[in-house]
Amino acid sequence: MVIQGRLGTEPSCTALALKSDPAILADTRLEARELVRGWLFAAFASVYAVYVVLTFSNTAMPLAARGSLALISLGLAVSSAIAWRTPRWRNTPALVVASTGGMVLIAASSWVQGWGMNGPLVGFLAVLSFMMGATVSTGLGLGLGLTGAALLVALAAAEHAGWIAGAAVLADLPLPRRLVNQLIILGVALAGGRFVHRVFEHYLVAGREREQRFQGLLGIAANTYWELDAKFTETHIWYRDKDNRFQPSARVLKAPWDQPEWEFDQGIAETHFVDLRSRRPFRNVQVRWRMPDGSLRHQLISGEPRLDDAGRFLGYWGVTRDVSADVGLQQAMQATEQRYRELFEMSPMALVIHRDWRVQDANAAALAMFGYGDVEAMKGTDQLASLGPAEQDIARARLPTCRRASACSRSPTGQRCATGGA
């Protein structure tokens, strides 16, 4: 299922240092949304302000039309600037108004000047649709695209009906003005590309920070990460190296029951196989890995089913934690307790373990001395009852001294005081 570290080598168990960040697992989508909307409203305010200047400088346009378009553009510039500086105004309706207003402004300008859909600013309809679709939502981009298409159809119909001159009017537009218009469109497109790049970069940076946090936390809780395929035939593993990074192993393992290095306690492998076939999560399954030198590595394995967005089963993924040190400590404690028990039982001195003078355990010499046939018969008896009044007073006086002097030793039955003799 999973291998602890490099196969046959000692793994690194060092935890990955977490980046100091006051924001604990902040929602990247919310951060990006605020960032995007702030930039968008700043761009709208700048573009509409430039459009005010261009409109007033266009002497070929009737004065009334110039004033109306400039006033609308000024209103959009001011409202966009306010939304840029006021976060609570950076909402979707405000974005719809700012972008749709810009489209209507472009179409109205092309209509008034008779350009129709051949106007030099018509390209902004495509730019707006792209920007909103790429940075805000697909729905908003689609809506603006449909709006732009409707405006283009309206301009084409007006030119077809003879209401506006159309392309013929462009010949009267001075060459420098046409060049400036195209350069403005090019500049806005370049700024839009830079803007989209910044948005993607924001998501990438946030993704790297989250990955670093994930690896740091994973390194604290586990030593190895693994993935088992849906057919339970291949297990891919990632181990921590000396650089505190999870690196993929070049070796692909078989299913745990087909891997000879794995050793399970009786019945564990069968139960684990049933859990996997039932696609149930499992926690802290204790297994052993036989190393090339014959030693055993004890591990706890946890995993859960891995599903795609459609809910299809892709296999399992999980982590492994090395508990060899804990198992070794437990085995050492058990061996020590066993030796203590053997010395306790074999001692020729009568030894009694009590709690507040109530017998908890006794060796064979104590049973013979007090006349009991077995330990169960002696358990719970009051040891002071076998002493005279004076000896009872002495025993009670000595007990606090025994405790303060740390004369209590750890026995198989808990913290007791061992007393010998009569």
Q: Are strands 313-322 and 296-307 parallel, antiparallel or unpaired?
A: antiparallel
So what's the pLDDT on residue 393? 81
Separation between Cα atoms, residue 62 and residue 111, nearest integer Å: 12
Sorted by sequence, the CB contacts under 8 Å of residue 31 that are 6+ apart come out as 202, 206
Count the residues in the chain: 422
Spell out the alpha helix ranges (H) of 58-137.
63-85, 92-112, 123-135
Q: Which residues pair with 304 in a beta bridge?
A: 317
So what's the pLDDT on residue 403? 66
pLDDT, block means (10 residues), the chain with 422 residues: 37 34 50 76 88 81 86 92 88 88 88 79 82 82 90 88 75 70 74 73 73 68 82 84 74 79 80 85 86 84 88 88 82 84 85 84 86 86 80 79 56 45 39
At the topology level, CATH places domain 224-322 in Beta-Lactamase (3.30.450)
So what's the pLDDT on residue 62? 82
| C-alpha angle 38-214-233 in degrees, rounded to nearest 5 | 125
Indicate the domain borders of the chain: 28-210, 224-322, 347-420
Is the model's pTM score more than 0.75?
A: no
Give the per-residue SS3 of 213-228. HHHHHHHHHCCEEEEE
In terms of Cα–Cα distance, which of 205, 202, 206 is closest to 25?
206
